[in-house]
Structure 1
Amino acid sequence: MIFNQLVDEVLNLAIIEDIGTGDITSQILVSENLNVHAEIICKEDMILAGMPFVKRFFSILADYFSSSDIYIEEHCKDGDFIEKGKVVASLTGNAMFLLAGERIALNILQRLSGIATLTKQFIEKIEGIPVKILDTRKTTPGLRFMEKYAVKTGGGYNHRFALYDAILIKDNHIKIAGSVKESVLKAKNSAVYQKIEVEVKNFEELEEAISANADIVMLDNMDIESMKKAVRIAKGRVLLEASGGVSLENVRDVALTGVDFISVGCLTHSAKAVDISMKIRKVI
């Protein structure tokens, strides 16, 4: 796992937000030099995601406390299917340090494992169909790197990371540019990027996108029959991405239309956090 400055900044902000000047409850009740052994336990079936971020968090927290690291023994790895009741990891170290970091560490694991678990459910729904499930930019501000990592951990694929790394012409761009064809041609003439994706809402706009040599066309909120017709119109001349209103209930039907990609915003904006807890097992 390669960490970037943004991730470290987010983890530092989490420490400031939740710990601040210190855990006043533990300062009253826990001896400063007490060491403990604890376990992280999953309380429902899930796909694990986030352990590299948790390990990084405790490393940063050690510097914050001017303390030695918590020793973490991983019993499972990211991407594993974990059954309810299984111990994900064991932690050994200073009790005050561990208690201070408990909630942030669990928040990371619960959020990312929830995303990975939901993504895996979508992947299972399209088994046997040659289509890719993509995430979107509908992520928690500041947590995109982590959340898109969780999508990949669950078996999905990342769409563009941000506004700066790919051209995606959407309805508001088209409104300003005048038409789908004009938008695509202008983007093509910029010679900045090789691939141009454009959103369309009807067959007329699809024909414009194809005639302008767009590389990928996003079919915006089309119903199943319309997507099937769009696939027939495209005839392999352009890659097609289905977008809008995709759920676990209809994703297989969408995949069977013949589109190449399906973007699913709910992977990140609506994934339910899984239930994970930390229990101190022994005072050392």
Structure 2
Amino acid sequence: MTSETVRLLRAAGLDPDQVRRIIENALVEDLGPDGLDVTSVATIPATQTDTADVVARADGVVAGLAVAAAVFELAAESTGIGRTVEVSLVARDGERVARGDVLATVTGPTRVLLTAERTALNLLSRMSGVATHTRAWADALAGSKAMVLDTRKTTPGLRALEKYAVRAGGGTNKRMGLHDVAMVKDNHKFAAGGVAAAYRRVREAFPDVPVQVEVDTLAEAVEAVEAGVDFLLLDNMSPAVLAEVVAAVGDRAELEATGGLTLADAAAVGATGVDFLSVGALTHSSPILDIALDLRTE
């Protein structure tokens, strides 16, 4: 990867080494044990060079341009052609784009461009789809203090990229995994003997780890706050009940609405005064943003 691509990845909060591993694994899926794109090797001379445009085929929000650039650059390294590619980013992550907009241009060995095409577009289209979906939720919450959160319902191996795409779309990230935030859910409460007991055990075992507790009723929310919990997940509550919890808890805890949320109801939920809405669909159900690679013909 070029130093500029590494800089852009780091500025996005992504680990360049982790991105490299993701891309290398994806390229192996396409190129197999021999590292060959048999169609391109058979039809295109190794010396041929072209320029291609990365083009939006639909309106949306773009995310992952530096990741796509890294795919082309790493493909050039892995094919053994011995020449590099030059990637020029035209758009910026987080921008709204329209059908027909050129997002980036890539110049280099034609074999490399076509070998890297599908991997680059798979990642870019996936990330841009997540960003586009997230922006719709962020727009729906405009005017309230609530922000949309992602969850751990991510594609295995792509969590860091998908969570970055949420940020690019105007959302915010919840925990990255089971290690950085303790989340006491219904099964934990049942096994521990209640909200207060579960919270106490987590706090004693991991005093420096943030603790969040899922509650199902107003009474349980009050119990949790009185036990010292300062972040509540309000599970499958109607806007009316959410408003009651907000009034009862006040500023003693941050409040997250979760479970069964829909985009159509987002504004009403945000208006209750909760701090966050967590939406697993941002990462498990976002359609891709259609993006293509077009070789220039002139």
Q: Output the TM-score relative to the length of structure 1.
A: 0.96
In structure 1, the residue corresponding to 2:88 is in which secondary structure?
strand
- C-alpha offsets along residues 95-137 of structure 1, whole Å, 9 cap, x if unaligned? 1111000000011111000000111111111111111111111
In the aligned structure 2, how far is the partner of 1:28 from the partner of 1:64? Answer: 18
1:9 counterpart (21, 35, 38): 21
- Distance apart, 1:4 and its partner CA: 4.5
Which residue of structure 2 lines up, in the alignment, with residue 146 of structure 1?
161
In structure 1, the residue corresponding to 2:261 is in which secondary structure?
coil
**Contact in 2 for aligned 1:38/1:282 (Cα 8 Å):** no
**Contact in 2 for aligned 1:48/1:116 (Cα 8 Å):** yes
Which residue of structure 2 lines up, in the alignment, with residue 227 of structure 1?
242
Which residue of structure 1 lines up, in the alignment, with residue 295 of structure 2?
280
Give structure 1 stretches of 5+ with no counterpart.
none
In the aligned structure 1, how far is the partner of 2:62 from the partner of 2:20? Answer: 21
Which residue of structure 1 lines up, in the alignment, with residue 272 of structure 2?
257
Percent of aligned pairs with the same residue?
36
Moved more, 184-193 or 119-128: 184-193
- Distance apart, 1:268 and its partner CA: 0.5
Which residue of structure 1 lines up, in the alignment, with residue 43 of structure 2?
29
List aligned pairs for 1:128-277, cutoff 5 A: 128-193=143-208, 195-277=210-292
In the aligned structure 1, how far is the partner of 2:196 from the partner of 2:249? Answer: 15
In the aligned structure 1, how far is the partner of 2:43 from the partner of 2:250? Answer: 69
4+ runs of 1 displaced by more than 6 Å?
none
**Contact in 1 for aligned 2:52/2:106 (Cα 8 Å):** yes
- C-alpha offsets along residues 84-103 of structure 1, whole Å, 9 cap, x if unaligned? 11111111110111100000
**Contact in 1 for aligned 2:51/2:295 (Cα 8 Å):** yes
In structure 2, the residue corresponding to 1:218 is in which secondary structure?
strand
Read off the aligned partner of 1:237 and give its amino acid letter. Answer: R
Query: What is the RMSD computed on CA atoms of the aligned residues?
Result: 1.3
1:39 aligns to 2:53 (yes or no): yes
Which residue of structure 2 lines up, in the alignment, with residue 55 of structure 1?
69
In the aligned structure 2, how far is the partner of 1:194 from the partner of 1:74? Answer: 39
- Distance apart, 1:240 and its partner CA: 0.8
Read off the aligned partner of 1:18 and give its amino acid letter. Answer: D
In the aligned structure 2, how far is the partner of 1:62 from the partner of 1:8? Answer: 13
Which has the bigger relative contact order, CA under 8 A and spacing at least 6?
A: 1
- Distance apart, 1:138 and its partner CA: 0.5
**Contact in 2 for aligned 1:134/1:264 (Cα 8 Å):** yes
In structure 2, the residue corresponding to 1:105 is in which secondary structure?
helix
Q: Output the TM-score relative to the length of structure 2.
A: 0.91
In the aligned structure 2, how far is the partner of 1:97 from the partner of 1:4? Answer: 21
In the aligned structure 2, how far is the partner of 1:85 from the partner of 1:238? Answer: 46
In the aligned structure 1, how far is the partner of 2:23 from the partner of 2:238? Answer: 41
Moved more, 106-115 or 220-229: 220-229
**Contact in 1 for aligned 2:180/2:209 (Cα 8 Å):** no
Moved more, 191-200 or 205-214: 191-200
- Distance apart, 1:220 and its partner CA: 0.8
- Distance apart, 1:207 and its partner CA: 1.9
- Distance apart, 1:64 and its partner CA: 1.0
Give structure 2 stretches of 5+ with no counterpart.
1-8
Read off the aligned partner of 2:47 and give its amino acid letter. Answer: N
- Distance apart, 1:158 and its partner CA: 0.5
In structure 2, the residue corresponding to 1:56 is in which secondary structure?
helix
- Distance apart, 1:270 and its partner CA: 0.5
Read off the aligned partner of 2:272 and give its amino acid letter. Answer: T
- C-alpha offsets along residues 153-195 of structure 1, whole Å, 9 cap, x if unaligned? 0111010111111111111111111101101112222353253
In the aligned structure 2, how far is the partner of 1:194 from the partner of 1:109? Answer: 34
**Contact in 2 for aligned 1:125/1:252 (Cα 8 Å):** yes
